[in-house]
Amino acid sequence: MNDFKLDKADIHILRLLQQQARASFDELATQVGLSSSAVLRRVKRLEKEGVIQDYRATIQPEAIGIGLTAYINLRLEKQSSHAKNSPREMFRSLVQSWSEVTGCVALAGEMDYMLCVVVRDMAHFSRFLSDKLLRHEIVRDCRTSFVLEWVKEEKGLPI
């Protein structure tokens, strides 16, 4: 995606797809002012170039038993000279296997990572914390904040 340029029609298509990914090429074409085949070619090109990465369904968390969202900021132990793998490498590998973690970002500042964790309830969160996260000595410190209410949750990017 090095020199890939988006024109106004591409941006319009992307905005529409972020709002309704299941829109047909005919529906998109009507709104963008192009033919269906032109929209299809553009969408395929956007997919090929990696601008469009995938299409997903947005699921209501409560409908599948998810009742609690937490953000955990954590700090890892420093690298020891005798360790085979760095704490960073070990943590990045571990976090991939935790189904409760829906997002993990590396941070600059006081803490090293922030996790977004979704669970059924406080008991489930407690088990996640003790059985998965804190059982590893590489985790030095963690601070948790619980979501009380979603004030804004944007599904798309501002383009």
Kindly state whether residues 21 and 77 are assigned to the same domain.
no
54 in a domain, yes or no? no
39 in a domain, yes or no? yes
- Say if CB 126 and CB 118 are below 8 A apart: no
Q: What is the mean pLDDT of residues 110-136?
A: 97
Question: How many domains are contained in the chain?
Answer: 2
Kindly state whether residues 41 and 65 are assigned to the same domain.
no
CATH number at residue 97: 3.30.70.920
Q: What is the pLDDT of residue 35?
A: 97
Judged by DSSP in three states, 157 sits in: coil
Kindly state whether residues 26 and 90 are assigned to the same domain.
no
Kindly state whether residues 82 and 36 are assigned to the same domain.
no
3 in a domain, yes or no? no
Mean pLDDT of the residues in the chain: 93
Token readout for 129 is 């914390």
In tens, the pLDDT along 72-107 reads 999 999 876 566 778 999 999 999 999 999 999 999
- Say if CB 41 and CB 77 are below 8 A apart: no
Q: What is the pLDDT of residue 80?
A: 63
In DSSP notation, 109-136 reads SS-SEEEEEEESSHHHHHHIIIIIITTS
- Say if CB 71 and CB 145 are below 8 A apart: yes
In tens, the pLDDT along 17-76 reads 999 999 999 999 999 999 999 999 999 999 999 999 999 888 999 999 999 999 999 999
Model pTM score: 0.82
Q: Which domain holds residue 15?
A: 8-48
Q: What is the pLDDT of residue 81?
A: 58
Asked which of 113-117, 141-145, 153-157 is least confident by mean pLDDT, the reply is 153-157
